[in-house]
Structure 1
Amino acid sequence: MIVHVTPRTEPVVIVGGGQSGLAAARAGLTAGLRPVVLHAGVEPVGSWPDYYDSLTLFSPARYSALPGLDFGGDPERYPSRDEVVAYLRRYAAGLDADVRTGVRVTAVRSRPDGGYLVHTDAGDELAAAGVVAASGSFGNPYLPVLPSQERYAGELCHVADYRRPDPYAGRRVVVVGAGNSAVQVAHELAGYADVTLATRAPVRFLPQRIRGRDLHHWLRVTGADLLPRPVLTRLVRHAAVLDTGIYRDAIAAGAPARRAMFTAFTDDGVVWSDGRTERVDAVVFATGYRPHLDYLAPLGTLDRGLPRQRAGISTTHPGLGYLGLEFQRSFSSNTLRGVGRDAAYVTAALAAHVSGRSRRRPAARRAAASGRP
Structure 2
Amino acid sequence: MGSCKGEQQQHRHDETHCVLVQGPIIIGAGPSGLATSACLKQEGVPSLILEKSDCIASLWQHRTYDRLKLHLPKQFCQLPLLGFPQNFPKYPTKHQFISYMESYASHFSIQPTFNQAVTSAEFDHVTGFWRVKTQDSEYISRWLVVATGENAEPLIPYIPGIHTFSGPVLHTSSYKSGSEFKNQRVLVIGCGNSGMEVCLDLCRYNAIPHMVVRSTVHVLPREMFGFSTFGMAMALLKWLPLKLVDKLLLLVSNFTLGNTDQIGLRRPKTGPIELKNVTGKTPVLDVGALAQIKSGKIKVIEGVKEITRNGARFMDAQEKEFDAIILATGYKSNVPTWLKGCDFFTEDGMPKTSFPNGCKLYTVGFTGRGLLGTASDAVKIAQDIGEQWRTI
Among 276, 280, 286, the alignment partner of 1:243 is 286
Among 18, 22, 43, the alignment partner of 2:55 is 43
Match of 1:345 in 2: 380
The DSSP-based 3-state class of the residue aligned with 1:221 is helix
TM-score of the aligned structures, taking structure 1 as reference length: 0.81
The AA in structure 2 aligned to 1:248 is L
**8 Å Cα contact 1:262-1:272 kept in structure 2:** yes
2: CA distance, partners of 1:174 / 1:62:
35
Q: Any residues of structure 2 matched to 1:1-373 within 5 Å, and which?
A: 10-50=22-62, 51-74=64-87, 77-111=90-124, 112-121=126-135, 123-192=136-205, 193-201=207-215, 203-223=217-237, 235-237=273-275, 239-243=282-286, 246-294=288-336, 296-301=338-343, 302-311=345-354, 313=355, 318-327=359-368, 332=369, 334-335=370-371, 337-352=372-387
Deviation string, structure 1 residues 96-129 (Cα, Å, up to 9, x no partner) = 44522232222112222111111112x2111111
The DSSP-based 3-state class of the residue aligned with 1:217 is helix
Indicate the larger mover: 268-277 or 87-96. Answer: 268-277
Q: Percent identity?
A: 23
Gaps of at least 5 residues in structure 1 are: 1-7, 358-373
**8 Å Cα contact 1:62-1:75 kept in structure 2:** no
TM-score of the aligned structures, taking structure 2 as reference length: 0.78
Indicate the larger mover: 293-302 or 17-26. Answer: 293-302
2: CA distance, partners of 1:266 / 1:295:
32
CA separation of 1:37/1:154 partners in 2, compared to 1, >3 Å: closer, same or farther? same
Shift of 1:347: 3.1
**8 Å Cα contact 1:308-1:314 kept in structure 2:** no
The DSSP-based 3-state class of the residue aligned with 1:66 is coil
**8 Å Cα contact 2:187-2:325 kept in structure 1:** yes
Indicate the larger mover: 77-86 or 264-273. Answer: 264-273
CA separation of 1:217/1:188 partners in 2, compared to 1, >3 Å: closer, same or farther? same
2: CA distance, partners of 1:308 / 1:62:
27
CA separation of 1:203/1:254 partners in 2, compared to 1, >3 Å: closer, same or farther? farther
The DSSP-based 3-state class of the residue aligned with 1:186 is helix
The AA in structure 2 aligned to 1:39 is E
Shift of 1:134: 0.6
The count of aligned residue pairs is 336
**8 Å Cα contact 2:188-2:328 kept in structure 1:** yes
Deviation string, structure 1 residues 18-75 (Cα, Å, up to 9, x no partner) = 1000011012223343211111222223321121111000112233211111211346
1: CA distance, partners of 2:187 / 2:307:
12
Shift of 1:205: 1.5
The AA in structure 1 aligned to 2:224 is I
Match of 1:368 in 2: none
1: CA distance, partners of 2:300 / 2:367:
27
The DSSP-based 3-state class of the residue aligned with 2:339 is helix
Shift of 1:309: 2.9
Deviation string, structure 1 residues 135-162 (Cα, Å, up to 9, x no partner) = 1344411111122223223221111111
Alignment RMSD: 2.7
CA separation of 1:148/1:178 partners in 2, compared to 1, >3 Å: closer, same or farther? same
**8 Å Cα contact 1:183-1:247 kept in structure 2:** yes
2: CA distance, partners of 1:151 / 1:175:
17
Indicate the larger mover: 57-66 or 18-27. Answer: 57-66
Gaps of at least 5 residues in structure 2 are: 1-19, 247-269, 276-280
Shift of 1:220: 4.1
2: CA distance, partners of 1:47 / 1:269:
30
The AA in structure 1 aligned to 2:382 is T
CA separation of 1:319/1:355 partners in 2, compared to 1, >3 Å: closer, same or farther? farther
Indicate the larger mover: 64-73 or 180-189. Answer: 64-73
The DSSP-based 3-state class of the residue aligned with 1:57 is coil
